[in-house]
Amino acid sequence: MREILNAVLYFLSTDCQWRALPKDLPPRSIGHGWFVRWHCDGVLDHMHVALYQQVRELEGRHASPTAAIVDSQSVRSAEKGGSAST
C-alpha cells in the first residue's frame, strides 16, 4: 500500500502523466485506480487537511489559521484598451 501511495504522491507532486511514472513504482493502472478511488471517496482531501494541520502544529501554530489577508487590485484597469500597435 505504501508503494501505491508513493505513486499517487509522485503523480501529484510532479504533475507527470501516469505512463511516465518511474519503474520502481507500481504500474500506472494500479496507481491510477487507487488515485481515482481515493479522490472520489474524499480520502485525498482528508489526508491533505490532516497533514496541513500536523505541519502547522509542528511549527507551533494553531491547526487552522485564525486570520486571513484578502488582497484586491488597488489600481483599476482601463475598461477599454488602447489601439493595438503593429
Question: pLDDT for 20-68, tens place per residue?
Answer: 999 999 999 999 999 999 999 999 999 999 999 999 999 898 888 777 7
* C-alpha–C-alpha distance, residues 83 and 62, integer Å: 52
At 86 the pLDDT is 60
Q: Please report the pLDDT score of residue 64 as a whole number.
A: 83
Which whole-number Å values give the CA distances from 30 to 7, 34, 46, 48, 84, in the listed order? 9, 6, 21, 21, 52
Q: Report the pLDDT value the prediction gives residue 55, as an integer from 0 to 100.
A: 92
